[in-house]
Amino acid sequence: MIDIGVNLTNSRFSDDLEQVLYRAKQSGVNKLLVTGTNIVESEQAVNLCKINPNMLFATVGVHPHDADNVTDNFINDLSKLAMQKNVKAIGECGLDFNRNFSTQTNQISVFKAQIALASKLNMPLFLHQRDAFKLWFDLLTPYFDKVPAMVAHCFTGDKNELTLCLQAGMYIGITGWVCDERRGKGLRDLIVDIPLNRLLIETDAPYLLPRTIKPRPKSNRNEPSFLTYIVDEIANNSNYSKEQIITQSIINADHVFNFSVTETD
């Protein structure tokens, strides 16, 4: 399996990262895409990849929560990081009008700059969106044929939004949200509408611990070894077998992120 979204730079992994990676391998997760959410954490993600270059890969980007804190040179910084080995996408980037931890004006500006960067570098976009779908989609529309792929990370939208994303050629990232009996019903109902060749699986660890885990870990921390619970829930709500989900999601992830090829420094 390939976990295409995991926040390994989070401090909750600082004490036992080696054990976390070992458990991932034991559970069948052989590749992880470490998410960059600002310049510092993108640098940390790149450095983690150097420790285990056959298992760890990275995105580099600025999350909308961090849009207020960018420097004037942040695009130059991201450009340099994007040239490092094992960096496979620009992001996590997008819009979040749910929490508005950064001003909407700055979110839009920072997002537009990263879309343009992905186009310039011919790299995939790893995308975030909450309560801002129309503007988010409108900003991406001119670039549908200018970047190699777009991933709707942690998709939680409705059927109309899913249809638009699929029509645009996006890949759909499914997380432990689908395992939440309280909030995940809408997403579970949509699983049957996601073509297998557009499906990606991700934990978004340490967040979104699957609520189907019994008993729940005392730490309440999600980790890549729990990816199998997401596969189980997708299988339970679709006509796909677990084997089909695993096999095709690996093919999809390699198509989007080209894990078999790394650039030179």
Note the pLDDT tens digit of each residue in 28-47.
999 999 999 999 999 999 99
Rounded to whole angstroms, the Cα distance separating 73 from 65 reads 18
- Mean pLDDT computed over 66-83: 98
* CATH label of the domain that carries residue 215: 3.20.20.140
DSSP state of 68: G
Q: Evaluate whether 77 touches 104 at the Cβ level (below 8 Å).
A: no
Alpha helices in 84-215 (DSSP H): 104-121, 133-140, 159-167, 185-190
Q: Where are the beta strands (DSSP E) in 134-242?
A: 150-152, 171-174, 199-201
- For residue 135, being part of any structural domain is answered with yes
- Mean pLDDT computed over 234-243: 97
CA dihedral of 128, 130, 135, 141, whole degrees rounded to 10? 40
Q: Evaluate whether 143 touches 115 at the Cβ level (below 8 Å).
A: yes
- For residue 262, being part of any structural domain is answered with no
Q: Please state, in angstroms and as integers, the Cα–Cα distance from residue 105 to each residue in 16, 64, 67, 151, following that order.
A: 39, 10, 9, 23
- For residue 25, being part of any structural domain is answered with yes
Q: 30 is in which domain, residue-wise? A: 2-257
- The per-residue pLDDT of the chain, averaged, comes to 96
Does residue 120 have a pLDDT over 50? yes
- For residue 237, being part of any structural domain is answered with yes
Residues 6+ apart with CB under 8 A from 132: 94, 95, 96, 97, 98
Query: How many structural domains does the chain have?
Result: 1
- For residue 239, being part of any structural domain is answered with yes
pLDDT for the residue numbered 65: 98
- List, in sequence order, every residue forming a beta bridge with 32; answer none if it has no partner: 3, 56
- Mean pLDDT computed over 204-228: 96
- For residue 265, being part of any structural domain is answered with no
**pLDDT-derived band of residue 55, with 50, 70 and 90 as boundaries?**
very high
Does residue 260 have a pLDDT over 80? no
- Mean pLDDT computed over 133-144: 98
The CB-side HSE value for 155 (13 A sphere, CA atoms) comes to 31
Q: Evaluate whether 178 touches 184 at the Cβ level (below 8 Å).
A: yes
- For residue 211, being part of any structural domain is answered with yes
Say what percent of the chain tops pLDDT 70.
Answer: 98
3-state secondary structure of 196: helix
- For residue 148, being part of any structural domain is answered with yes
pLDDT for the residue numbered 261: 53
Say what percent of the chain tops pLDDT 90.
Answer: 97
pTM above 0.75, yes or no: yes
Residues 6+ apart with CB under 8 A from 142: none
- Mean pLDDT computed over 16-31: 97
pLDDT for the residue numbered 137: 98
**pLDDT-derived band of residue 263, with 50, 70 and 90 as boundaries?**
very low
